[in-house]
Amino acid sequence: MTKLGKDKDDATGQEGQLSSRGGVCLSNLLVTLEQRLSVLSAEEVVWDQAVGRVLAEPVVASSPLPAFARAAMDGFAVQSTDLAEATAERPCCLRITGKAYPARPYLGEVAKGTAIRIMTGAPIPVGADAVVMLEDCEVSPDNQWVYFRRPVAPGRHVIAVGEDVAQGQLVLQAGRRLRPSDVALLVALGLSRCRVVRCPRVGLILTGPELVPPGCPPAVGQIVDSNSPMLAALIDRDGGRLVWLQRLPDERQQLLAVVQQALQQEIDLLLFCGGSSRGDEDFVPQVAAACGELVAHGLALKPGAPTGFAWLFSGPPMTRRLPAVLLPGNPVACLVAYELLAGRIVRRLAGRSWELPHRRRVLPLRDPVVSQPGRLDWVRVRFEQGRAVPLLGRGASSLFSLAEADGFLLVPENVAGYSAETPVEVYLFD
Ligand code: AMP
Ligand code: MG
């Protein structure tokens, strides 16, 4: 295990001594994890559950779309050769012999010299090869005859069989995240189910005797667990689902027992939150190491130094390796550790991108940002008159600083900071 880093993210914003003691380089850890983690297996879902899911297999059209030739306009279905001589001076006249509606086709044939009144979406009757739009037709007062003042090209206003999708065509690639219109395409092709990547199931263990569940009034010295709703929403955003949650005090034996319980659950990732530093009551790293392999603990990251990653082993004979992330308890540090590490794992399992999901914008910095070389800094910024204003010295516990910020920027390990007016890439919170 690589074990470095300072003891705790300081809630006062002074957690800056990490680089003197080093810390695990997040980028290196990510390279290893990206290779070791794979997309979950597939499951079948019905169309109404498919939006946002990632296709596990390509979709090939088993039938053409449309399956029958149909009218693209209201008008008259004709044999185009009948109108070859039509001019404004000498209109061509055809006898109206029937009507075609969507789902009520004209069952006869359009013979030479005849026309069929047709509505948009109706099947093109046998014999016809073009539709003249209503605006270009003159119907006799007795509705028996229709006049045309110019020729029509064959195929005009006819949507041909397979014009949209040919039978056997690959329409959606594996790995695609299904959009609402993709689901429309699937059902139009007659596919009511598709195979998608299974939704990652995430467990969460929160430690700290001071925590009360959201919605419960805290007693003196207690605080509301504000991290679990945030994490649940972030997991959701990344295509996973929080399915199992436990809150417990900082007690080693109890933590060990709950981790054993977690290993019995049907989960694909376990998150710990809190108790991940090196204080007297921070048992999470020890317990993670006792239940598997603590791969990294203490990152060169600000805020978020008390972050770690472990593989937990279970199921005789230790065949299952459950990925586990140790998140700091301080809310901002917790968010940062989730975004930069845990969220990537959720997305990888879900078949989504390893990259951060935020939209980005390049803006000049209003004020300089200083960072220690060797450390990755996550800096909250607010937008002001087209510039990014860094919110400095706000610490790892300030939830309001997140509300004030419009996004964040990253100062990589090999960069010592940015001077004012440097254009920086900002990741948007929206
Ligand atoms: P820890 O990481 O356990 O040392 O906690 C660091 C700080 O974060 C402490 O002030 C905790 O009270 C706070 N904290 C821990 N867990 C949570 C949580 N779930 N929600 C909000 N704050 C928390
Ligand atoms: Mg704690």
Do 206 and 263 fall within a single domain? yes
**Do residues 421 and 314 both lie within one domain?**
no
Q: What pLDDT does residue 66 have?
A: 97
Q: Which pLDDT does position 77 carry in this prediction?
A: 98
Give the whole-angstrom CA distance, residue 259 versus residue 271. 10
Same domain, 295 and 391: no
Q: What pLDDT, on the 0 to 100 scale, is given for residue 19?
A: 35
Do 193 and 50 lie in a common domain? Answer: yes
Report the pLDDT value the prediction gives residue 59, as an integer from 0 to 100.
98
Give the C-alpha separation, 78 to 108, whole Å.
13
Q: Which amino acid is at 404?
A: E
Is the C-beta atom of 114 inside 6 A of ligand 1?
no
Q: What is the mean pLDDT of residues 323-339?
A: 98
Predicted pLDDT at 1:
54
Expressed in angstroms and rounded, the spacing between residue 379 Cα and the centre of ligand 2 is 24
What's the pLDDT at 416? Answer: 94
Residue 318: predicted pLDDT = 67
| Residue 276 pLDDT grade (very low, low, confident, very high; cuts 50, 70, 90) | very high
- φ, ψ for residue 363, nearest 5 deg: -140, 150
Nearest CA to ligand 1 atom 14: 329
Mean pLDDT of the residues in the chain = 94
pLDDT at 21: 57
What is the tally of structural domains in the chain?
Answer: 4
Determine, yes or no, domain membership for 415. yes
Q: What are phi and psi for residue 26, nearest 5 degrees?
A: -60, -40
Tokens representing 353 are 């991108």
CB atoms within 10 A of CB 215: 7
> Is residue 8 assigned to a domain?
no
Per DSSP, the three-state class of 262 is: helix
Pairing of strands 301-302, 292-297: unpaired
Residue 35 belongs to a domain: yes
- Domain-ending residue, one of 349, 384, 403: 349
Predicted confidence at residue 22, as pLDDT, reads 80
What range defines the domain where residue 137 resides?
70-159
Last residue of a domain, one of 349, 375, 407: 349
Residue with structure tokens 């400095």? 392
Strands (E), 188-268: 193-197, 201-207, 211-212, 223-224, 241-248
Alpha carbon of 278 to ligand 2 centroid (Å): 10
Residues 338-360 have a mean pLDDT of 98
Strand boundaries in 249-386, DSSP class E: 269-273, 292-297, 301-302, 308-314, 320-327, 360-364, 369-370, 376-384
Predicted confidence at residue 16, as pLDDT, reads 31
User: For residue 337, is pLDDT > 60?
Assistant: yes
- As a whole number of angstroms, the distance between CA 94 and CA 132 comes to 12
Q: Is the CB of 226 under 6 A from ligand 1?
A: yes
SS3 87: coil
222 & 307 share domain = yes
Q: Identify the pLDDT of residue 11.
A: 42
pLDDT in tens, 53-69: 999 999 999 999 999 99
Indicate which residue's Cα is closest to atom 10 of ligand 1. 330
Residues 229 and 340 in one domain: yes
pLDDT single digits (tens) 114-150: 999 999 999 999 999 999 999 999 999 999 999 999 9
- Report d(CA 71, CA 125) in Å as an integer: 10
**Are 93 and 227 in the same domain?**
no
Choosing from 330, 332, 402 the residue with most ligand 1 atoms within 8 A of its CB, the one to mutate for a pocket test is: 330
Q: Are residues 86 and 144 in the same domain?
A: yes
Does residue 111 sit within a domain? yes
Residue 6 lies in a domain: no
**Residue 191 resides in a domain:** yes
Q: Identify whether the C-beta of residue 158 lies closer than 8 Å to the C-beta of residue 152.
A: no
**285, 141: one domain:** no
C-beta of 79 in contact with ligand 1 (< 6 A): no
Whether 233 and 343 share a structural domain = yes
Report the CATH number that the domain containing residue 101 is assigned in CATH: 2.170.190.11
- The reply to whether 392 and 264 lie within a common domain is no
Q: Which helix (H) or strand (E) holds 285?
A: helix 284-290
**Residue 3 is assigned to a structural domain of this protein:** no
- Together in a domain, 398 and 299: no
Q: Is the pTM of this model over 0.85?
A: yes
